[in-house]
Structure 1
Amino acid sequence: MTTEDGRPRLQGPLGLTGRAPAPDLARGWMLLLIVLANTPFYLYGRAHSQAGFHPLDGSVTDRVVQAVLITGVDMRVYPMFAFLFGYGLMVIYRRQGAAGVPEPEAFRLLQRRNLWLLVFGAVHALLLWGGDVLGAYGMAGLVLVWLFRRRADRTLLVWAAIGSGLLALLAAFTMFGAWATLATGTAAQAGGGMPDWMTASASAEGVLSAALARLMMWPFLVFGQGLLGMAIPVAILLGFWAARRRILEEPWQYRRLLWITAVGGMAIGWVGGLPHALAHIGVLGGMEQVMWAFSGLQLITGLACGLGYVALFGLIGDRLAGRPLGPVGSAVSAVGKRSLSCYLAQSVLCAPLLAAWGLGLGAVLGSATMAVYAIGVWLVTVAFAVWLERRGKPGPAETLLRRLSYRERRPAVPREEPGRAPAG
């Protein structure tokens, strides 16, 4: 299809029908994990560890919930999200090439989308959630699309391996440092947990002071997590590579790879997260002074676990190919089709009710009740997505992002020369 001036028309995102099930199912379930991972941030007014936002106290049920989240959710979801983000970018780029859109125009489309995602993240952080990841993905997308969109598959894998190796070295150094500190008895008294500037937006009672705290936190995530943290760039590069091979769209051709990645990735993630969980709830005693060491371990094992989760949904997509999704699968898929809107809706449902500048429920909830609240938030977004699905409408945030990203230049209208009648 071409525009009126004969140029190939930019191909918009996939419609609401005829889509491969795996990516949408993965995004839909991922948003449940995201809200479970984010809501402990609002448990303010109590002591936290040096490697997370989970409180150091709580009932037995609270401790079990904390252990489950640290093992299977914390630092495991955003690499999964990053992989799907990179996969989606390359699908958009691939569709433009198939439609005959010139490569520079396709490149500008991706960069406009990444830039607007960065803007969405800044507004999201200013108004509601300092832990926003949209900015981090937008920034990483700007850099990685510029550097790697035309690079060979082998190059993508080599640089992903280099990034993974750096994360593994970081984990090894931090664990060695913790061992040396404990062995020599030089550990200082345990600190007060996460820095105050990272938790202030939840505990600040003033709206303006909370917004300022969020804006202080957001750039750290955009550059620190989005680029320097390595896990997001690695996951995005692997998403580029997988999309070129249509792994989630044609999973039946990659069953062996998906099985190895799913089993291996989740095993690495859960086994790697278990020591942190056991130390946090006190089963591994004497670790209070070196809890910081688990941050590096969580990065590399979280990357593996996130990729394992994606591969699991690839296998599920393989089983569901050509079959009805059923009511549950259809509902989750509806959320996945509107993942941006549902992600932003989580903040609307959480920040004003949980933060101190709002109703302040985060001060009275425990880890278990907060998890129940998080599940309730996700179910509300499911109902919203199903309502839109039945009406055949995309999410409002997706609609806005598409309009901003896919703008097309109108053909120039020739100006009439003075004293000359118009042609025709």
Structure 2
Amino acid sequence: MSTPSSPAPGAVPAARRSLAPDLARGLMLLVIATVHAHMFRIAVGGNAGYSLDGPLDTAATAAVALFAENRGYPMFAALFGYGLAQIALRRTAEGREWPWVRRLLRRRGRWLVAIGLAHGILIFFGDIIAVYGLIALLFAGVMRWTDRRLLATALAWGSAGTLAYAAVNGLAMGAAVEGATVASPLDDLVMRVVMVPFFVPLLIVISVFPFMAGVWAARRRLLEEPERHRAFLTRLAAIGIPAAVVGGVPYMLTTIEVWQPAAPVAAGVFWLHMLVGYAGGFGYAALIALVALRVGDRRGPIVTALAATGQRSMTSYLLQSVAWLVLMPAYTLGLAAELGDAAAVGIGAAVWLATVVLADLMRRAGFKQGPAEWFLRRMTYGTPVKARQEAKEGASA
């Protein structure tokens, strides 16, 4: 049986999009921006550590450790899993067979890898897009797993992955990044080429757990139907965020140099910080879902702009990286060597705000997606004519 007119697969129209996922992505980009700007002082500025030059710098570094570092990426990985599961569920509901859906997810993953590698090598060594693409390629099959298998595997990755990351962080990563001076574009390119293969596997092992948690959440439509899950979301926010803050205190004390433990203890402190970071990331997502529920259809200009940023999150993320390239290295504006900790966090917030303004301008101009989202959709689904033809073929059988 065929329908008279089948919509082309791809992005959900803006009028039908749930607010919570977009709002969460838009707000978490602020966390990402402040962490990256804070980190860039060390990564490319030739600084041996945080400046801690007075109470304002100390407070900024402490705040980043407690509320931002290793808190934003778990939520983004969870939202990626949530979004990928939504694609699989929608295509399955259209009547697509699993092999077709799996090919679609993996095609999306391959293009994410291509975009991410270009981003990581040409602009920013800490790319996360290729990581998500590889996860889509490696773990597309989890969409068919039972909840029990999904959660058991996720927890195993969460514990073992963070332990491996903490161990490596305490050894090679600090030596590779801290105090590096990027004096020329060639130096920067060489550093990125060296660092990307190092970072990608590490980021994969700590992202699988939140990715799978996001798949589990999508099956229950936690963010699309927060009114049905209000009690669970409230508990998650009330437990997850305080746990992340309290559990992050030992690491925070090391970053502001109040406590300088031996190397094995420092690795354990960092491991704890990452574990509770998962709780914090999930707690942030739950809190934002509750905020979206309260906002409902009464979206003011600020919420609308934040949601527009989340809807264009990959474009906004890439624009942040372009900003770091312009602002931070010595061969461009060279701010990394000059900024204190608080100033770096302020620069990060300013860059994020600029992307919010640009995303809202794109929305006002009638662009339903950012250029990165448009490119990924086109490469995943093909031209609109081809997508519509496939949709019609899938609807008739």
TM-score, reference length from structure 2: 0.89
- The correspondence of residues 179-218 of structure 1 with structure 2, limited to 5 A, is 194-196=174-176, 198-199=177-178, 203-218=181-196
- Please give the residue correspondences for 1:351-362 in structure 2 after superposition, counting only pairs within 5 Å: 351-362=325-336
Kindly indicate whether residue 153 of structure 2 is the aligned counterpart of residue 159 of structure 1. Answer: yes
2:312 to 335, 338, 342: 338
Equivalent residue in structure 2 for 1:281, among 233, 249, 256: 256
**C-alpha displacement at 1:355, in angstroms?**
1.3
Structure 2 letter corresponding to 1:348: V
Q: Which amino acid aligns with 1:347?
A: S
Q: 1:2 to 1:353 in 2, by over 3 A?
A: farther
Percent identical across equivalent pairs?
36
Return 5+ residue gaps in structure 2 as ranges: 390-397
The residue matched to 2:15 in structure 1 has which SS?
A: coil
Work out the CA distance in 1 between the residues paired with 2:250 and 2:287: 24
Q: Which residue of 2 aligns with 1:21?
A: 19
- The number of residue pairs the alignment matches comes to 380
Structure 2 vs 1, CA of residues 96 and 21 (structure 1 numbering), >3 Å: closer, same or farther? same
Q: 1:169 to 1:378 in 2, by over 3 A?
A: closer
Secondary structure at 1:45 match in 2: coil
**Cα distance, 1:203 vs. partner?**
2.4
The letter for the 2-side match of 1:208 is: L
The residue that corresponds to 2:91 in the other structure is 96
Distance 2:123 2:305 in 1: 26
User: Which digits, 9 at most, give the CA deviation of each residue in 1:48-107, with x for residues without a partner?
Assistant: 2xxxxxx15422211100000011110111010000000000111111112222322221
Q: Deviations over 1:134-184 (max 9, x none)?
A: 111111121111x3121112221221232334368779x98xxxxxxxxxx
SS in 1 for 2:95: coil
Greater relative contact order (Cα 8 A, min sep 6): structure 1 or 2?
2
Alpha-carbon contact 1:279-1:288 (below 8 Å) kept: no
Q: How far apart, CA to CA, are the structure 1 residues paired with 2:308 and 2:53? A: 36
Sort the Cα spacing of 1:362 and 1:152 in 2 relative to 1 into closer, same or farther, 3 A: same
Question: Partner of 2:46 in structure 1?
Answer: 45
Contact 1:121 1:134 in 2 (8 A): yes
Provide the secondary structure at the position in 2 that maps to 1:104: helix
Contact 1:204 1:357 in 2 (8 A): yes
After TM superposition, the structure 1 = structure 2 runs for residues 50-129 of structure 1, keeping only pairs within 5 Å, are 55=50, 57-129=52-124
> How far off is 1:327 after superposition?
1.3
Deviations 1:263-303 (A, max 9, x none): 1111111111111112322333x437553433211221111
Distance 2:178 2:79 in 1: 28
1:294 aligns with 2:269: yes
How far apart are 1:191 and its partner, in Å?
Answer: 9.5
> Are residue 149 (structure 1) and residue 127 (structure 2) matched?
no
* Aligned equivalent of 2:215: 240
Partner of residue 251 from structure 1, selected from 214, 226, 229: 226
Q: CA RMSD in A?
A: 2.7
Q: Indicate conservation of the 8 Å contact 1:16/1:392, yes or no.
A: no
CA contact (8 A) 2:78 2:213 kept: yes
Distance in 1, Cα, partners of 2:359 & 2:145: 37
Alignment partner, residue 126 of structure 2: 131
1:347 aligns with 2:321: yes
1:397 equivalent in alignment to 2:372: yes
Give the 3 Å change call, closer, same or farther, for CA 207–2 of structure 1 in structure 2.
farther
Aligned CA distance change for structure 1 residues 205 and 317 (closer, same or farther; 3 Å):
same
* Equivalent-residue separation in structure 2 for 1:236 and 1:62 (angstroms): 34
Cα distance between partner residues in 1 of 2:96 and 2:8: 7
Q: Deviations over 1:295-333 (max 9, x none)?
A: 211221111111111111121122123x22111111111
Q: Which has the larger radius of gyration?
A: 1
Query: What is the identity, as a one-letter code, of the residue corresponding to 1:47?
Result: A
Q: Report the Cα offset of residue 9 of structure 1.
A: 7.2
Moved more, 253-262 or 56-65: 56-65
| Paired letter, 1:159 | T
One-letter amino acid of the structure 2 residue matched with residue 29 of structure 1:
L
SS at match of 1:194: helix
Taking the TM superposition and a 5 Å limit, the aligned residue runs for 1:372-383 are 372-383=346-357
Q: Aligned partners of 2:8 and 2:366: how far apart in 1?
A: 22
- 1:418 aligns with none
In the TM superposition, residue 356 of structure 1 has moved relative to its aligned partner by 2.0
* CA distance in 2 between partners of 1:2 and 1:60 (Å): 68
- What does the per-residue CA deviation read over 1:335-364, in whole Å, with 9 as the maximum and x for residues that have no partner? 011000000000111212211232211100
1:134 partner amino acid: I
Equivalent-residue separation in structure 1 for 2:238 and 2:362 (angstroms): 35
Q: Any idea what SS the aligned residue of 1:97 has?
A: helix
- Please name the residue that 1:416 is paired with: none
Residue 301 of structure 2 corresponds to 327
Give 1:268's match in structure 2, choosing from 222, 243, 250: 243
Gaps (5+ residues) in structure 1? 49-54, 175-189, 412-424
Bigger drift between 335-344 and 402-411 goes to 402-411
For the residues of structure 2 that align with 1:396 and 1:89, how far apart are their CA atoms? 19
Describe the SS at the equivalent of 1:17. Answer: helix
Shift of 1:398: 0.5
CA distance in 2, matches of 1:154, 1:191: 35
- Structure 2 residue aligned with 1:33, among 21, 31, 46? 31
* In 1: Cα distance, 2:173 partner to 2:195 partner: 16
